[in-house]
Amino acid sequence: MDHNKKIIFSGVQPSGSLTIGNYLGALKNFGKLQADYNCYYCVVDMHTLTVRQNPEILKERSYQVLALYLACGLDPEKNVLFIQSHVPCHAELSWILGCYTYMGELQRMTQFKDKSARHADNINAGLFTYPVLMAADILLYKTDMVPIGVDQKQHLELARNIAERFNNIYGDTFVIPEPYIPKQSAKIMSLQEPDKKMSKSDTNVNNFVLILDSQDVILKKFKKAVTDSGCEIVYDEINKPGISNLINIYASVKDISREDVVKEFEGSRYGDFKVAVGTAVAEALAPIQSKYNDFIADKAYLDSLLKRNAEIAGENARKTLKEVYEKVGFIVF
Ligand code: TYM
């Protein structure tokens, strides 16, 4: 690692197949940042247990997220790609930070409110303390910047508050992390219900496009996407949420501005625009899918990478944890 470079940490839950929301909101940016920062990209398997998981499927999905990191172009020599449960410091720091987090703060988390409404039969303590574990993930590595979609912003703000609180009591310990939220793909919306976030745990498959959906399926889903009344392709989140979402998707995939998209499709019909967006997404994902297939077939390689990186991440995390243990008054050898 180059000690002059700033540090990035981000994570993805292996709780479902990843969507283009995950890709455009997070993974695509991970790749852009790898040259200028020391990056830790984690498969946050411990977070998934807040909702019931099938153990075999969870294991496979953890490999899938790692293979997707690689397929999206993350260089395994330049980035620390690892699994959260392989580094026990995450759970250890989470306990400490939990003692510096207030119930009221956790009760205000919108994701907790949403998820407990959706899983009313399983409102477990982990779901409630989830943002503390996320704060531990970030703070363990003295992270400067966290690339995330806007849905994680509130959790990041809590991590900052916890870090500041700890620093105020014990002196400078944690770096206060900044969010890195892409403008055009901060929140990719559902294709059928564009007033809600595209989510990998949605029950209606037409609401999301998966990174691994076949080219046909991608095109079909975009053709079915809900548009709005009127016929103009203009950006207006309030009155034209469907079209605005498609503009954001096209702009992010092509790395152009919303204004450029509007110009390009001036006078086009909704139907033609939907086909163009679907085609652009399918084209962008094709090389990722092909690389993914190669990586996922080589579990021995993935395992060796995970073992090596668990050690690298663990070594750095242990340093911070030791510092924290000393500050709170534990006996450390
Ligand atoms: P997760 O697994 O739900 O999502 C992974 C990343 O994808 C982003 N994202 C989206 N961005 C734009 N539009 C969408 N529709 C969309 N859906 C998801 C998320 O914002 C996220 O950046 N709690 C986190 C995982 C986590 C984490 C961390 C992230 C655990 N520890 C530490 C950063 C740092 C989560 O559930 O993300």
CATH code (residue 252): 1.10.240.10
Residues 261 and 168 in one domain: no
Provide the CATH number for the domain around residue 177: 3.40.50.620
Q: Is residue 251 part of a domain?
A: yes
Token digits of residue 309 = 């990186």
Q: Map tokens 């139907």 to a residue.
A: 271
Token digits of residue 250 = 């096209």
Token digits of residue 248 = 């954001």
Residue 271 CB-half CA count within 13 A? 0
Residues 221 and 269 in one domain: yes
User: What is the rounded CA–CA span in Å between residue 202 and residue 207?
Assistant: 7
Distance 20 CA to ligand 1 centre (A): 12
Q: Is residue 200 part of a domain?
A: no
Residues 19 and 149 in one domain: yes
242 ligand 1 Cβ < 6 A: no
User: For every one of its 333 residues, what pLDDT tens digit does the chain have, with 9 covering 90 and above?
Assistant: 778 899 999 999 999 899 999 999 999 999 999 999 999 999 999 999 999 999 999 999 999 999 999 999 999 999 999 999 999 999 999 999 999 999 999 999 999 999 999 889 999 999 999 999 999 999 999 999 999 999 999 999 999 999 999 999 999 999 999 999 999 999 999 999 999 999 988 899 999 999 999 999 999 999 999 998 888 999 999 999 999 999 999 999 999 999 999 999 999 999 999 999 999 999 999 999 999 999 999 999 999 999 999 999 999 999 999 999 999 999 999
44 ligand 1 Cβ < 6 A: yes
Distance 40 CA to ligand 1 centre (A): 14
- Bridge partners (DSSP) of residue 147 are 180
Closest residue by CA, ligand 1 atom 26:
11
Active site residues: 115, 197, 200
**Structural contact between residues 170 and 321, judged by C-beta atoms closer than 8 angstroms:** no
Token digits of residue 145 = 């910047």
Give the count of domains, the chain: 2
Distance 189 CA to ligand 1 centre (A): 14
Domain of residue 236, residue span: 205-293
16 ligand 1 Cβ < 6 A: no
